[in-house]
C-alpha cells in the first residue's frame, strides 16, 4: 500500500496487535495497519465488532480520535504523531491543567453518546446486555466474564499458580458481596481503557484518544473508576478529577453521577480484583518470552504480582502474600511448564529487601 517498503515502520510495540505505520503514496499523513496477534489470551470483554467501524460512527461526535481511510480492502487509522501522556508524565505524576481539561471534555462527550444513537455493529446480543440504567447487572456481566473467560478458561494452565496464591472460585462470591447495591445511572458509551498510553499529545498540545477496541455501553462511573485505577493520579489531582467528572457528566446527561461517592469504591474494588487474574496470567506468560529466566527476573515479576494481590486482598477475601511466597509460587509454576524434565531449578533466594515496582 505504501509503494515503498523503506518508509514502513514496525512492528510497533503492543500486546494485542502487530502494527505497521506508513504514508500512502503522495501523502504526508501516516496511517497504521494492524492485525490481531494469533493465540493471545483476551482478558477484557469486547462489545463492538470493529474498532474502525466504531471510530467511523464517532467522527464529529468525539473530539481527538483517529481519522480513517479505506485503502483497497483495508480500513486504516490515522497514526497520531506525538508523545503518549505516559512518556511525558509517567504514572503517579500530575498532568497539566490544559490536558486534564481535555480529558474531562472527553468524559462529557462520551456521556452524550447513548446506546440507541450509534450505528456500529455490536458483538453482544440484546439478551447479553444489561437493561438501560441497571448498573448492578452491568457489573455482574463484567464479573461473569472475568470468572468464566479469564479464571475458568485458563484454569488448566494456571491451576497450580492460582491455588498457591489462594485464588479460587469462592473469591468471586466474596467479590460480589463487596460490590453489591449499585445506584442506577443512565448508560452511555465507555472507552473502558483510558490510561496514559492511550492518550497522545501532538505538537500543538492537543490530546488524542486511541485504542477504542474495549469500548462498550454501560455505567459512566465504571469509565471513571477504570481511568482512576490506571492513571494513578496524585491524590489532590484525583480529587479534582472526580469533581470535574461529576460536573461534566451531569451537564451532559443528568443522573450520570447519581450515588457516585458510595459506588466508586465498589467499582475500584472490582478493578483491583479483575487485575489479579489479568496480571497474574500475563506476568506468568511473559516469563516464556524472556531470553533467560534467572533469580532477578523471577523476583521482579514476583514483586509486580505481589503488589496486585495486596491491593485486591479485601475485595477477594484473601490474605496478602509476601513477595517471597509469590516469587516461589511463580518459580514453581514456570519450571513445571517451561523447563525440560531433569533441568536444575534456580537456587532458592534468601530474604532480601522488597523490590521496587512500578514506573
Total domains in the chain come to: 2
Cα torsion angle, 140, 146, 270, 199, sign: negative
pLDDT of 277 > 70? The answer is yes
Let me know if residue 71 belongs to a domain. no
* Tens-digit pLDDT profile for residues 101-143: 999 999 999 999 999 999 999 988 777 899 999 999 999 999 9
Let me know if residue 358 belongs to a domain. no
Q: Residue 236 to residues 29, 85, 94, 232: CA-CA distances in angstroms?
A: 39, 19, 9, 11
CA distance 141 to 190: 15
pLDDT for the residue numbered 34: 80
0.95 exceeded by the pTM? no
pLDDT for the residue numbered 289: 82
CA distance 352 to 354: 6
Q: Are residues 129 and 167 in the same domain?
A: yes
* Tens-digit pLDDT profile for residues 219-258: 999 999 999 999 999 999 999 999 999 999 999 999 999 9
Q: Is 220 in contact with 110 (CB distance < 8 Å)?
A: yes
Residue 38 binned pLDDT confidence (cut-offs 50, 70, 90): low
Q: Is 94 in contact with 240 (CB distance < 8 Å)?
A: no
CA distance 17 to 9: 14
Residue 17 binned pLDDT confidence (cut-offs 50, 70, 90): confident
* Tens-digit pLDDT profile for residues 290-304: 888 889 999 999 999
191: nearest Cα among 220, 149, 229, 230: 220
pLDDT of 355 > 90? The answer is no
CA distance 98 to 305: 34
Let me know if residue 239 belongs to a domain. yes
* Tens-digit pLDDT profile for residues 323-335: 999 999 999 999 8
Q: Are residues 26 and 57 in the same domain?
A: no
Q: Which three cell numbers stand for residue 3?
A: 509503494
Q: Are residues 180 and 170 in the same domain?
A: yes
Q: Are residues 113 and 233 in the same domain?
A: yes
Let me know if residue 156 belongs to a domain. yes
Q: Are residues 120 and 24 in the same domain?
A: no
Q: Are residues 120 and 177 in the same domain?
A: yes
pLDDT for the residue numbered 36: 72
pLDDT for the residue numbered 15: 59
Percent of all residues in the chain with a pLDDT value above 70, rounded to a whole number:
92
The length of the chain in residues reads: 359
What are the residues facing 69 on neighbouring strands?
Answer: 76
CA distance 99 to 76: 27
pLDDT for the residue numbered 14: 64
Q: Are residues 203 and 250 in the same domain?
A: yes
pLDDT of 164 > 60? The answer is yes
pLDDT, averaged across the chain: 89
Let me know if residue 348 belongs to a domain. no
pLDDT for the residue numbered 195: 97
* Tens-digit pLDDT profile for residues 178-235: 999 999 999 999 999 999 999 999 999 999 999 999 999 999 999 999 999 999 999 9
pLDDT of 353 > 50? The answer is no
Number of Cα atoms under 13 Å in the Cβ half of residue 28: 1
21: nearest Cα among 7, 3, 38: 7
What are the residues facing 199 on neighbouring strands?
Answer: 209
Structural domain range at position 6: 1-40
Amino acid at each position: 500500500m505504501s509503494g515503498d517498503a523503506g518508509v514502513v515502520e514496525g512492528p510497533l510495540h503492543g500486546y494485542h496487535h502487530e502494527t505497521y505505520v506508513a504514508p500512502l503514496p503522495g501523502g504526508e499523513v501516516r496511517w497504521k495497519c494492524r492485525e490481531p496477534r494469533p493465540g493471545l489470551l483476551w482478558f477484557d470483554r469486547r462489545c463492538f465488532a470493529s474498532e474502525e467501524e466504531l471510530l467511523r460512527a464517532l467522527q464529529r461526535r468525539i473530539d481527538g480520535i483517529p481519522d480513517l481511510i479505506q485503502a483497497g480492502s483495508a480500513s486504516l487509522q490515522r497514526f497520531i504523531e506525538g508523545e503518549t501522556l505516559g512518556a511525558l508524565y509517567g504514572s503517579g505524576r500530575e498532568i497539566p491543567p490544559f490536558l486534564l481539561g481535555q480529558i474531562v471534555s472527553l468524559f462529557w462527550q462520551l456521556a452524550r453518546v447513548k446506546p440507541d444513537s450509534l450505528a456500529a455493529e455490536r458483538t453482544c446480543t440484546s439478551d447479553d446486555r444489561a437493561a438501560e440504567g441497571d448498573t448492578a447487572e452491568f457489573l455482574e456481566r463484567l464479573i461473569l466474564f472475568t470468572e468464566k473467560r479469564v479464571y475458568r478458561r485458563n484454569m488448566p494452565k494456571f491451576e497450580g499458580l492460582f491455588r498457591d496464591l489462594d485464588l479460587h472460585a469462592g473469591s468471586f462470591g466474596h467479590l460480589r458481596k463487596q460490590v453489591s447495591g449499585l445506584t442506577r445511572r443512565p448508560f452511555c458509551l465507555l472507552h473502558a481503557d483510558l490510561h496514559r498510553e492511550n492518550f497522545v499529545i501532538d505538537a500543538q498540545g492537543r490530546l488524542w484518544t486511541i485504542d477504542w477496541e474495549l469500548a462498550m455501553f454501560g455505567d459512566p462511573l465504571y469509565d471513571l473508576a477504570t481511568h482512576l485505577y490506571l492513571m494513578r493520579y496524585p491524590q489532590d489531582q484525583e480529587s479534582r478529577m472526580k469533581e470535574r467528572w461529576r460536573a461534566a457528566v451531569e451537564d451532559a446527561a443528568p443522573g450520570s453521577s447519581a450515588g457516585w461517592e458510595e459506588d466508586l469504591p465498589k467499582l475500584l474494588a472490582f478493578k483491583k480484583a479483575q487485575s489479579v487474574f489479568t496480571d497474574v496470567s500475563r506476568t506468568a506468560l511473559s516469563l516464556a518470552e524472556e531470553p533467560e529466566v534467572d533469580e532477578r527476573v523471577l523476583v521482579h515479576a514476583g514483586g509486580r504480582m505481589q503488589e496486585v494481590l495486596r491491593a485486591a486482598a479485601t475485595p477477594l477475601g484473601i490474605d496478602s502474600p509476601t513477595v517471597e511466597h509469590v516469587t516461589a509460587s511463580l518459580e514453581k509454576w514456570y519450571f513445571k511448564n517451561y523447563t525440560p524434565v531433569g533441568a536444575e531449578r534456580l537456587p532458592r533466594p534468601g530474604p532480601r529487601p522488597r523490590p521496587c515496582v512500578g514506573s
